[in-house]
Amino acid sequence: MKNFLTAFLAFAAILLSFSSYAQRKVGQAGGQAAKSIPKTAATPSNRSVSPAASNKNRNLNSGNSGSKRDNLGADKNSVDRSGNNNLSGNKVNIDNSKKNVNVNIDNSKDVKINNNRVVNNSVRSNGYRPYTRPPYRHGGFVYFSYRPYFYHPYTPFFWGPVWHPWGFFVAALATTAIIVSVENAQYHYDQGVWYQPYNGGYQVVSAPVGGTITTLPPNAQTVVVNETVNNYYYGGDFYEKSEKGYSVVPATAGTIVPHLPEGGKEVKVGDQTYVQFGEIYYQPIQVDGKDMYEIVEVKKEDIK
């Protein structure tokens, strides 16, 4: 009996050891099967899932952040509102500014060039010389002159390196320039050329009527106005002797000048062609075989 129990226990131990051995084999087989799975098969799925998950996490995180959402929302709304207002506002402002700039530029040019030319743009009648020739009539206007019309092409004259035409711009003036005040307006004068401040520099303008200088510009020419009066002509401007020197005067009808400066334009009036500076008309004529110009007096025809 004792031998039987001993044998039974030995057999049971053998069975337990065999069962444990089988379980270990199964576990090893499972581990090897797991190890045999290629890493490349698992990795792409992880990569494809991770960015989406991270993006979702980022979106969810940013969305879940109440303060950030409120700030972003407020910023977005404010940007949209301000953007819309700015866009509409800018359109209005830009258009208005462009219009204003254009108006300002034109006005400034008119003030500094055209208006000054208007100041010296009127033709005074020559009361001492009656017209002996009938006037030329066209378009409701009459054009009075003392000499017959003789066409020749308009060729601007150049008075030398110190002279500049109306509208010419310089950044700085020579040290010889002087200041001349005319009716509360300041001009700068230098060697026959008149300037006014413009756009950070100086722009050439026509001589202002009433402006007085002590010395005539170089190469000024004497022109006959009538039997008792002479003018001095230089660069399209006229001067008369005065108590303080030489004063700028308007152009006088009938005055004959040998040259015209830049800035004029030929205009066709019926069968005749004049050179026009603002409202001043110069009629081409010929004197002793030389081409010259006579200042024409223009009046509106009185039709009854």
Mean pLDDT for back-to-back runs of 10 residues, the chain (304 residues): 58 57 48 44 41 42 41 40 40 38 32 38 81 94 96 94 92 95 94 95 94 93 89 95 94 95 94 93 97 96 73
pLDDT at residue 11 in the model = 60
pLDDT at residue 3 in the model = 59
Q: Name, in order, each residue with C-beta under 8 angstroms of 298's C-beta and a sequence gap of 6 or more.
A: 123, 141, 142, 143, 144, 279, 281
Q: 3-state class of 279 per DSSP?
A: coil
Q: Which two tokens stand for residue 292?
A: 């010259």
pTM for this structure?
Answer: 0.60
**Distances, alpha carbon 203 to alpha carbons 174, 217, 235, in Å:** 13, 18, 15
pLDDT at residue 6 in the model = 59
pLDDT at residue 261 in the model = 93
